[in-house]
Amino acid sequence: MPDTSTVHFDVALTNVSIAYRNKAFVASQISPQVLVRKQSDRYFIHDSGRDSFRSTADGRAPGTEASEVDFALSSDSYYCDDHALESAIPDEERDNSDSPLMPEIDRVEFLSDKILLNAEINLAAKLRDSSAIPYLDLSSGSKEWDNNSNDPVANIETAKQAILDAVQVLPNTLVLPFAVYTALRNNTNITDRVKYSNLGVVGTDTLAELFDVERVLVARAVQNIAPRGQAPDMEPVWGNDALLLHVPERVSLKSVAPSLSFVWSQAAGSSHGHSVQTWREERRKATMVRVQKYYDQNLLQVWCVRIIFSTIPVLRWIEHFPCSLTSIKSTICEIAAFKPSRSSSSGLSATWARSACVIFRRNSIPSSPLDLAGSFRSSHSSSVGSITNK
């Protein structure tokens, strides 16, 4: 632990942390930030019973009182946990740097990126939790969007109607993982609608206009789920599920929002909830840099969100990450006692793919190749012997 008397709150580097943005992340755009003065407090939830949508008799006879109505006012709490990471800048690195300040800036951006990645992962887990969020599942009946016989527009309209019926607001934001975005751009139900406009090119603006939402966000965040020291195993943070939701343009009283991020703005030495501290450690001949942020991501009105599960088979987005696919394929091949297909470096034989898709079809994915192998063996014990190398 550093001596607190030697720790310096660096305003310039704090501003670097505040300004830093990773364009692959979408959490800050769908969970608006709310600056709060206390680390922990309570907030009110207006009309959680949706009494304002209930018809009440308003006729009044002469000389009588009018019908009295009210709405439910509940409350919940937040607690802004401390999220902090630090890194050392050896003197040797500074001595070999072209600019004396670049090592500090590089470290601040690196640490800020990792803190933002954790926020992205945390929010994705909350908003993709089917036990808390209403959903539309496309995995049953092979309704995925990479199949041209399926109409994504109809699915979006169904989800929009469900949100409108629940909270009387229309969703304005559609979040698409990159692989899902790619599948949509190539679905003929989409391309046929726009082939005579915008040179037939399908982008986020085109999809927003087609789906009648204000914006389409492409979530490109990935995480390395391999243990440190092992080969990278990359996985998309937002999986293969689309999210349709209503996000307020600005947060105010009675805002309808699926999630808010409470940020403690009055933490010591912080600016807008961010702080960067530096100190010297002579025994290591290094300068230490710490990036810190206090926040809490809370779910609020879950009725204004719809998860669209399994918009593409999970096998499709795994193909974007060959290292993960290779390890999974190798493990399954060993257990099933057959050799991998040589038809392509990242593809699977047709027979293997059909069998594997049964496992991958749902969004609950085994956490490792060995877990997947166990699922494969138990689910296909009767058919493993018939799998051949084609």
- Assign 320 a pLDDT band (cuts: 50, 70, 90): very low
The whole-chain average pLDDT of the chain stands at 78
What percentage of the chain carries pLDDT values higher than 90? 42
The CB density around residue 334, as the number of other CB atoms within 10 Å, is 13
Kindly report, residue by residue over 16-33, the tens digit of the pLDDT: 777 777 889 999 999 999
- Reply yes or no on whether the pLDDT at 370 is more than 50: no
11-19 and 102-127 helices, crossing angle to 10°? 40
Where does the pLDDT of residue 41 fall: very low under 50, low under 70, confident under 90, or very high at 90 and above? very high
pLDDT at 314: 55
Is residue 186's pLDDT more than 80? Answer: yes
Write the CB contacts of 135 (distance below 8 Å, at least 6 apart in sequence).
306, 307, 308, 309
Percent of the chain clearing pLDDT 70 (strictly above): 75
- The residue among 254, 356, 322, 198 whose CA lies nearest residue 46 is 254
242 pLDDT higher than 90:
yes
The pTM of the full predicted model, rounded to 2 decimals, is 0.74
Instruction: Please tell me the predicted confidence (pLDDT) of residue 386.
Output: 34
- Maximum Cα interatomic distance, the chain, rounded to a whole number of Å: 89
Pairing status of strand 274-281 against strand 286-299: antiparallel
Confirm if 293 and 273 have CB atoms less than 8 A apart.
yes
Residue 329 sits at the vertex; the CA angle it makes with 177 and 352, to the nearest 5 degrees, is 90
Q: For position 100, what pLDDT does the model report? A: 65
232: pLDDT strictly greater than 70: yes
Q: What is the mean pLDDT of residues 216-220?
A: 96
For CA atoms 118, 120, 121, 127, give the dihedral sign.
Answer: positive
Taking the domains of the chain in order of start, what are their residue ranges? 4-53+73-129+251-301, 313-390
Strands (E), the chain: 8-9, 33-36, 40-46, 73-79, 81-90, 135-137, 173-177, 215-219, 222-224, 234-236, 242-245, 259-264, 274-281, 286-299, 305-309
Lowest mean pLDDT among 40-44, 61-65, 248-252, 385-389: 385-389
Cα–Cα distance for residue pair 79/103, rounded to 1 Å: 33
pLDDT 10s digits, 263-318 = 999 998 888 888 999 999 999 999 999 999 999 999 988 888 888 887 787 544 44
Q: Which two tokens stand for residue 311?
A: 């918009």
Burial class (CB within 10 angstroms; exposed 0-12, middle 13-18, buried 19+) of 126: middle
pLDDT in tens, 101-160: 688 889 999 999 999 999 999 999 999 998 888 888 887 666 789 888 889 999 999 999
Residue 57 confidence (pLDDT) = 82
Residue range 4-53+73-129+251-301 in CATH 3.40.50.2000: no
Confidence of residue 87 (pLDDT cuts 50, 70, 90): very high
> What is residue 115's three-state secondary structure?
helix
Q: Which residues pair with 215 in a beta bridge?
A: 173
Angle at 337 between CA 333 and CA 340, to 5 degrees: 40
pLDDT at 199 over 80: no
